[in-house]
C-alpha cells in the first residue's frame, strides 16, 4: 500500500453508512427475539413469516461493518499512536461490556433455557468465576461471555495485524499488492471477490463452524479479515470507491436475486441439517453472492446519494457506538418485561425498537457528560468546548 496519505476530506457517506449499519443491527436483533432461530432469549411465540425478512440482511450486516471499519482504519494509517488509540477504543468498551452490560443477557438466557432459579447476585458469582455448567442439548454456556460484543476483539486483532504489516513489511511491497488488487474493474470487481468469499464459505464453514469465540474461529477470521482488508484497500485506493458506485445497480439486482433464491430454498427445506451437502455447496455460493453484492450496492448507493452533511450526522455518528454496546441488553431486558403482557407482536416489536434506540441515545448522553465513562463506552476525549461548557454550568 502506498505510504502517501490519502485525501483528508471526510467521506461523509461513510458516516451515514456506519449509522445505517448499526441501526440495521438493532432491528435484526429485535427480529431474533421473534424468529424461530436460536437466540439468547425468545418470545413465547415465534413467527416463521419473519424469516425471509431476516435473510434480507443476515448474509451481509456484519460483513459491511468490517469493510467500513477497515476503510476507516485505512484512512488513519500512519497516524502517530494509532495502535494505542484503537486498542483503547475497542478493548475498554469490551471489558466494560463483559463486566456490566452483558451479564443481564446471560442471566435471562439461563433462566429461560435451563431453568436457573437463583438471584442475579448469585448468578454474578458464577459469571465471574468462569462457570460453564449451564448446558443444553450438549452445548454449554461459557462465562464470562462477550455475546454481541464479539465484533470488538475481532476488529482489535485485525487492526493489530494490519499495523504490524504496515510497520514490518516494505511499503513498496504493500503498494504493489494494493495496485494488483485495485486493478479489478467492471464485472471482475463483483465476480472475483464473490468467488473467493464463496470458496471460503464452502471450504472452511463445514470444518470450523461459526463460533465467534476468537480462538479457532478460522472461518470467520478468514472471511471477516479479508473483508476488513478490502476496506483498507478502498481507503488506500479510492478509485475503487468510484467503481463500486458504477456497479451499484447490477450488484443490487444480484443481491436481490440471491436473497430470493435463499428464501425459496428455505421454504422448500425447513430443516437445514437434513440438507445434503451436494445441495448445500451451491447455496454457499448464493449466500456469498448476496453477501458481497449487497456490500457493493451499499457503498455504491451511499457514495451517490449520501455524500452530504447534516446537523445530525456528527451526533448520530458518535451515538451509534454506545448504542451498539447496550442495544442487545436493552432488547433482551425489554423482551423479558413484555413477555407476560401477551401484547400483539407488532406492538411488542415496536416498543422494543423504540425503547432500544431511546435507551441507546440515553446511554450516549450519559457517557458524553461523564468524562470517566467516555472511554468505557467507546467515546473519544471530551471536546474542549464541551469541557468548558460543563465547567461553567
Q: What is the pLDDT of residues 196-215, one digit of tens each?
A: 999 999 999 999 999 999 99
**Listed range (25-34, 52-61, 166-175, 217-226) with the worst mean pLDDT:** 166-175
Classify residue 183: in a domain, yes or no: yes
Cell numbers found for residue 189:
470487481
Distant-in-sequence contacts of 249-256, Cβ < 8 A, 24+ apart: 249/297, 249/300, 250/187, 250/190, 251/190, 251/293, 251/294, 251/296, 251/297, 251/300, 252/293, 252/294, 252/297, 252/301, 254/190, 254/289, 254/290, 254/293, 255/60, 255/289, 255/290, 255/293, 255/294, 255/297
pTM: 0.94
Classify residue 7: in a domain, yes or no: no
Do 306 and 15 touch, CB atoms closer than 8 A? Answer: no
Do 292 and 197 touch, CB atoms closer than 8 A? Answer: yes
Cell numbers found for residue 5:
496519505
Classify residue 332: in a domain, yes or no: yes
Do 123 and 107 touch, CB atoms closer than 8 A? Answer: yes
Query: Could you tell me the pLDDT band of residue 270, with boundaries at 50, 70 and 90?
Result: low
Classify residue 285: in a domain, yes or no: yes
Residues written for the chain: 393
Q: Does the pLDDT at position 383 exceed 80? A: no
Instruction: Give the integer Cα–Cα distance in Å for 277 and 289.
Output: 19
Cell numbers found for residue 229:
482488508
For residue 267, what pLDDT is reported? 82
For residue 384, what pLDDT is reported? 54
Q: Which residue stretches of the chain are H helix?
A: 12-34, 51-55, 61-76, 82-96, 103-114, 120-128, 151-168, 171-182, 188-208, 218-236, 239-246, 248-268, 277-305, 313-338, 345-369, 384-392
% pLDDT > 70, the chain: 94
Instruction: Give the integer Cα–Cα distance in Å for 334 and 311.
Output: 31
In 3D space, the residue among 24, 71, 61 whose CA is nearest the CA of residue 241 turns out to be 71
Looking at the structure of the chain, the number of domains it has is 1
For residue 392, what pLDDT is reported? 41
**What's the whole-number average pLDDT of the chain?**
93
Query: For the segment 10-26, what is each residue's pLDDT rounded down to a tens digit?
Result: 899 999 999 999 999 99
Query: For the segment 67-110, what is each residue's pLDDT rounded down to a tens digit?
Result: 999 999 999 999 999 999 999 999 999 999 999 999 999 999 99
For residue 269, what pLDDT is reported? 74
For residue 386, what pLDDT is reported? 54
Classify residue 247: in a domain, yes or no: yes
Quick one: three-class SS letters along 12-61? HHHHHHHHHHHHHHHHHHHHHHHCCCCCCCCCCCCCHHHHHHHHCCCCCH
Query: For the segment 281-336, what is each residue's pLDDT rounded down to a tens digit?
Result: 999 999 999 999 999 999 999 999 999 999 999 999 999 999 999 999 999 999 99
Strand partners, 136: 139
Classify residue 261: in a domain, yes or no: yes
For residue 196, what pLDDT is reported? 98
Q: What are the start-end ranges of the E strands in the chain?
A: 134-136, 139-141
Name the residue range of residue 16's domain.
12-79+165-357
Cell numbers found for residue 305:
446519494
Classify residue 84: in a domain, yes or no: no
Q: Does the pLDDT at position 4 exceed 60? A: no
Q: Which residues of 141-160 are buried (b: 16+ CB within 10 A; e: fewer)?
A: bebbbbbbbbbbbbbbbbbe
Classify residue 133: in a domain, yes or no: no
Amino acid at each position: 500500500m502506498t505510504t502517501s496519505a490519502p485525501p483528508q476530506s471526510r467521506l461523509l457517506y461513510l458516516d451515514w453508512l456506519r449509522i445505517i449499519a448499526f441501526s440495521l443491527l438493532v432491528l435484526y436483533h429485535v427480529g431474533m427475539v421473534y424468529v424461530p432461530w436460536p437466540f439468547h432469549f425468545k418470545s413465547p411465540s415465534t413467527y416463521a413469516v419473519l424469516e425471509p425478512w431476516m435473510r434480507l440482511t443476515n448474509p451481509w450486516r456484519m460483513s459491511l461493518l468490517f469493510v467500513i471499519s477497515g476503510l476507516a482504519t485505512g484512512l488513519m494509517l500512519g497516524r502517530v499512536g494509532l495502535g494505542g488509540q484503537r486498542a483503547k477504543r475497542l478493548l475498554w468498551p469490551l471489558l466494560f461490556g463483559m463486566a456490566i452490560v452483558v451479564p443481564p443477557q446471560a442471566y435471562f438466557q439461563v433462566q429461560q433455557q435451563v431453568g436457573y432459579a437463583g438471584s442475579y447476585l448469585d448468578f454474578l458469582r458464577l459469571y465471574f468465576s468462569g462457570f460453564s455448567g449451564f448446558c443444553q442439548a450438549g452445548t454449554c454456556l461459557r462465562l464470562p461471555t462477550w455475546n454481541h460484543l464479539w465484533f470488538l476483539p475481532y476488529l482489535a486483532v485485525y487492526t493489530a495485524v494490519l499495523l504490524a504489516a504496515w510497520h514490518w513489511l516494505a511499503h513498496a511491497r504493500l503498494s504493489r499488492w494494493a495496485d494488483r488488487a485495485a486493478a479489478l474493474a467492471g464485472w471482475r470487481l463483483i465476480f472475483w471477490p464473490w468467488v473467493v468469499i464463496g470458496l471460503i464459505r464452502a471450504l472452511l464453514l463445514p470444518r470450523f463452524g461459526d463460533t465467534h469465540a476468537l480462538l479457532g474461529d478460522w472461518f470467520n477470521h478468514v472471511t471477516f479479515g479479508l473483508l476488513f482488508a478490502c476496506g483498507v484497500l478502498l481507503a488506500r485506493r479510492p478509485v475503487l470507491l468510484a467503481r463500486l458506485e458504477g456497479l451499484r445497480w447490477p450488484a443490487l439486482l444480484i443481491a436481490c436475486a440471491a436473497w430470493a433464491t435463499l428464501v425459496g430454498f428455505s421454504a422448500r427445506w425447513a430443516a437445514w441439517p437434513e440438507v445434503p451437502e451436494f445441495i448445500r455447496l451451491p447455496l454457499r455460493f448464493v449466500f456469498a453472492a448476496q453477501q458481497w453484492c449487497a456490500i457493493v450496492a451499499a457503498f455504491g448507493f451511499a457514495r451517490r446519494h449520501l455524500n452530504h452533511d447534516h446537523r445530525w450526522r456528527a451526533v448520530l455518528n458518535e451515538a451509534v457506538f454506545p448504542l451498539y454496546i447496550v442495544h442487545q441488553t436493552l432488547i433482551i431486558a425489554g423482551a423479558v418485561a413484555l413477555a407476560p403482557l401477551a401484547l400483539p407482536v407488532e406492538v411488542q416489536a415496536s416498543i422494543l425498537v423504540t425503547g432500544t434506540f431511546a435507551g441507546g441515545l440515553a446511554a450516549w448522553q450519559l457517557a458524553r457528560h461523564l468524562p470517566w465513562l467516555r472511554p468505557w463506552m467507546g467515546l473519544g476525549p471530551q471536546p474542549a468546548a464541551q469541557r468548558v461548557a460543563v465547567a461553567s454550568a
